[in-house]
Amino acid sequence: MNGGKERETYHLTMEFPMTQIQARAVENARKEYRRAQNELRVHRLSETRYRGIPTIKSTDVKEHHGCFTYRGVSYCH
């Protein structure tokens, strides 16, 4: 006894434990939530602003084929 007081311990038990299907559904919901958070984070990182106007930075690399001349200098891609 500590100081004349008894300590009671309480154990939390579920009256109706979750089934395997319910546990899997909770786990899948958490994974989906994490995936959505990651997608939003990636989208926010790719967003840029030009003079206050929101624009999305293009991640696609566009290849332009052909030869161009600018001020007498030829550029071929």
- In whole angstroms, give the CA distance from residue 77 to residue 61: 13
Q: pTM value? A: 0.45
Q: So what's the pLDDT on residue 65?
A: 72
- Cβ-contact 42, 35 below 8 angstroms: no
pLDDT in tens, 5-53: 666 766 666 677 888 999 999 999 999 999 999 999 888 877 776 677 7
Question: What is the pLDDT at residue 75?
Answer: 79
Asked if residue 72 has pLDDT above 80, the reply is: yes
